Structure formats: structure tokens, C-alpha cells
């Protein structure tokens, strides 16, 4: 199993190479040891979905003795949905009881005076169907009263409903994946905390390296905005060495051979804060 390699093309046309070591180094979160079953299932799911784990499309979360969960990255569900030719839009909101005891379906995630939110709803439309796929979920089932559920419960329950509707509408695109909003404490704990021992002040030299790395990966078929966000996240949590490791893995995944990007003759200087808006949540 340690020598197993899979190769496939992701949905953006990039050539991906994935090994068990890549999964352990770049695609896993959590405190528990991955099993062979966890890794093989993840690699097979990535290939089946055409997902790029190096860009955070999907990743593994493992705690305790349970099987690892395959989580989808930020905006993965909606990004894939809008790329489907027959997709025809979506609607989502919250379900409330009003001051007079009636049930109301609100668009978005806003309540009116006297409302009590009891759940979320979503509809996904496709030109091939006569009616939309609809999902309704209960607030009591998902609200953990922690993290974003504590500060933004209406936004979160709407998101749960939307993800469930999308997964039911397009099972071939999302089978086996979950969004962090659906996973309770496991989902809340998945993001790696910054490592103080690796923390460093951002330098112009490092920013120039990030720019060169991004440009090279774009040449190989990756999407610029996603590459920039992913490398910046790796840099923030693990310093330049971790960003370099992620870059090398993505180069290998696209069939490239240069592990270190070379300086362009007329490289344009980029201020450090130009990358700040690329911060991503996993």
C-alpha cells in the first residue's frame, strides 16, 4: 500500500498524482493515526470525484478510532455545481416559527422580530428535472453551540441544508464527502492551528517566492486564485518550508519536474498584504 500511486485528471483538467505519503503529508487533519482503509478510501474518492486534494477540494479528518471523514473544502460544493451545464440555480434559507405559532420559510439567513429559527431549507434546480431537489434540516440536530454555530447559527443551518440538497441532486459529484458544518465538533476541530515554532514574519523574499510558485503552477493548469490561497495558508501555518512542500507535491501532481520556482527576469514586487485576502477556511 505504501507504494500505491494513482493518477487522474481533476475537473479543471490538471493531472494529479496521489500516493499514501501525499495523503498523510498534505491531505490529513486530526490527531489519530490513519489506517490503510482510510487512505485507500480517500484516494479512490479523489479519483472518482475528480477532486484536487492539493488545492483543498477534499481532505481527511481523523479523530479517535472511527473511520476518517472526507471533508469538502470551502466553496467546493457550489463551485462544482455551477460548472454542471444543466445546473439551473439554487435557493436556500431558514425555517422559523413566528410569534403567532406559524411556520415561515425565510430566504437567506435573516429572522424577523418574534421569529425562532428551527431549521434550514434549500432547493437545487436542474434543467433536466420537472421539480427541484429540496432539503430541510433541523437546527436541534446540528447546532453544537460552539465555534461558528455559536456566533452564526442561522448562516450555518442554511449551509447544511444547501450542502445536503446539492449532494442529493448530484451524488456522482459529491458522494462520500461532508461539509464542516455537518460534522459537529469533528468539523469544528479539523483546521490545523498555527504552529508557533514555525511562525515567522512575512518577508518580501517569501512573497516573491509565493508569486513565482503561483505563476509556475498556473502554467501547469492550476487555477490562480485557488493556488494563491492554498500556498498562503500553508505558509501561514507552517512557514516557507511547508509551503515549499505543498508546491513540490502540486508540481508532481501536474507532471512537472521543477521543485523550486526560479525568479523571473522582471518579477513584479508584491506587497505582503496582497495575499491577506486569500486566507481560506477549510
Whole-number pLDDT of residue 161: 95
H-helix or E-strand spanning residue 96: strand 87-97
Whole-number pLDDT of residue 237: 60
Residues 90 and 163 in one domain: yes
- From the list 58, 76, 70, the residue with the least C-alpha distance to 34 is 70
Strand partners, 248: none
Q: How many distinct structural domains can be found in the chain?
A: 3
Nearest 10 degrees: Cα torsion 120, 124, 125, 128: -140
Cell of 192: 490545523
What's the pLDDT tens digit per position in 137-152? Answer: 999 999 988 888 999 9
Residues 140 and 187 in one domain: no
Percent of the chain's residues with pLDDT above 90? 33
Contacts of 223 (CB under 8 A, 6+ apart): 12, 55
Whole-number pLDDT of residue 209: 86
Query: If pLDDT is split at 50, 70 and 90, which confidence band does 2 have?
Result: low
Whole-number pLDDT of residue 262: 52
Residues 75 and 144 in one domain: no
Q: How far apart are CA 205 and CA 169, in angstroms?
A: 46
Q: How far apart are CA 19 and CA 24, in angstroms?
A: 9
Strand partners, 72: 58
CB 72 within 8 A of CB 32: no
Residues 131 and 230 in one domain: no
Query: If pLDDT is split at 50, 70 and 90, which confidence band does 187 have?
Result: very low
Residues 176 and 159 in one domain: no
**For residue 96, pLDDT beyond 90:** yes
Residues 93 and 77 in one domain: no
The residue ranking higher by pLDDT, 139 or 63, is: 139
Whole-number pLDDT of residue 154: 96
What's the pLDDT tens digit per position in 256-270? Answer: 666 566 544 343 333
Alpha helices (runs of H) in 170-266, residue ranges in sequence order: 171-174, 184-188, 204-219, 224-253
Q: Among the listed ranges 208-212, 222-226, 236-240, which one has the minimum average pLDDT value?
A: 236-240
Residues 254 and 175 in one domain: no
CB 93 within 8 A of CB 107: yes
Q: What is the mean pLDDT of the chain?
A: 80
Residues 142 and 201 in one domain: no
Instruction: For the sheet with 133-138, list strands across it.
Output: 103-107, 87-97, 116-126, 133-138
Whole-number pLDDT of residue 42: 93
Q: How far apart are CA 245 and CA 25, in angstroms?
A: 9
Residues 4 and 56 in one domain: yes
- Whether this prediction's pTM lies above 0.75 is answered by no
The residue ranking higher by pLDDT, 228 or 43, is: 43
CB 251 within 8 A of CB 216: yes
**For residue 17, pLDDT beyond 70:** yes
Let me know the angle formed at the C-alpha of 179 by 64 and 213, rounded to the nearest 5 degrees.
95
Query: If pLDDT is split at 50, 70 and 90, which confidence band does 272 have?
Result: very low
Range of the domain at 223: 196-278
Contacts of 82 (CB under 8 A, 6+ apart): none
Residues 137 and 204 in one domain: no
Residues 41 and 156 in one domain: no
Whole-number pLDDT of residue 258: 65
CB 138 within 8 A of CB 118: yes
Whole-number pLDDT of residue 1: 52
Q: Look at residues 191, 222, 248 and tell me which one is the last residue of a structural domain.
A: 191
Whole-number pLDDT of residue 159: 93
What's the pLDDT tens digit per position in 21-58? Answer: 888 888 888 777 889 999 999 999 999 999 988 888 88
What's the pLDDT tens digit per position in 97-130? Answer: 999 999 999 999 999 999 999 999 999 999 999 9
Residues 183 and 51 in one domain: yes
Amino acid at each position: 500500500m505504501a507504494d500505491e500511486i494513482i493518477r487522474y485528471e481533476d475537473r479543471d483538467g490538471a493531472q494529479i498524482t496521489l500516493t499514501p505519503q501525499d495523503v498523510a503529508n498534505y491531505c490529513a487533519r486530526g490527531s489519530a493515526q490513519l489506517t490503510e482503509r482510510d487512505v485507500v478510501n480517500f484516494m479512490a474518492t479523489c479519483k472518482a470525484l475528480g477532486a484536487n486534494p492539493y488545492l483543498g477540494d477534499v481532505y481527511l479528518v481523523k479523530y479517535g478510532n472511527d473511520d476518517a471523514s472526507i471533508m469538502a473544502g470551502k466553496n467546493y460544493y457550489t463551485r462544482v455545481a455551477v460548472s454542471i451545464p444543466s445546473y439551473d440555480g439554487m435557493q436556500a434559507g431558514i425555517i422559523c416559527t413566528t410569534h403567532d405559532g406559524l411556520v415561515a420559510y425565510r430566504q437567506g439567513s435573516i429572522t424577523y422580530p418574534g421569529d425562532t429559527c428551527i431549521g434550514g431549507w434549500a432547493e437545487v434546480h436542474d434543467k433536466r428535472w420537472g421539480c427541484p431537489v429540496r432539503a430541510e434540516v433541523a437546527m436541534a440536530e446540528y447546532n453544537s453551540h460552539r465555534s461558528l454555530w455559536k456566533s452564526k447559527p442561522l448562516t450555518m443551518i442554511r449551509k447544511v441544508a444547501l450542502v445536503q440538497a446539492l449532494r442529493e441532486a448530484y451524488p456522482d459529484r459529491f458522494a462520500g464527502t461532508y461539509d464542516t458544518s455537518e460534522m459537529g465538533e469533528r468539523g469544528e476541530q479539523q483546521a490545523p492551528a498555527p504552529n508557533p515554532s514555525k511562525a515567522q514574519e512575512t518577508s518580501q523574499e517569501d512573497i516573491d517566492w509565493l508569486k513565482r510558485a503561483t505563476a509556475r503552477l498556473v502554467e501547469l493548469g492550476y487555477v490562480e486564485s485557488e493556488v494563491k490561497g492554498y500556498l498562503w495558508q500553508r505558509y501561514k501555518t507552517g512557514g516557507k518550508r511547508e509551503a515549499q512542500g505543498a508546491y513540490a507535491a502540486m508540481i508532481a501532481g501536474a507532471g512537472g519536474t521543477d521543485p523550486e520556482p526560479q525568479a523571473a527576469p522582471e518579477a513584479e514586487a508584491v506587497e505582503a498584504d496582497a495575499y491577506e485576502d486569500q486566507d481560506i477556511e477549510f
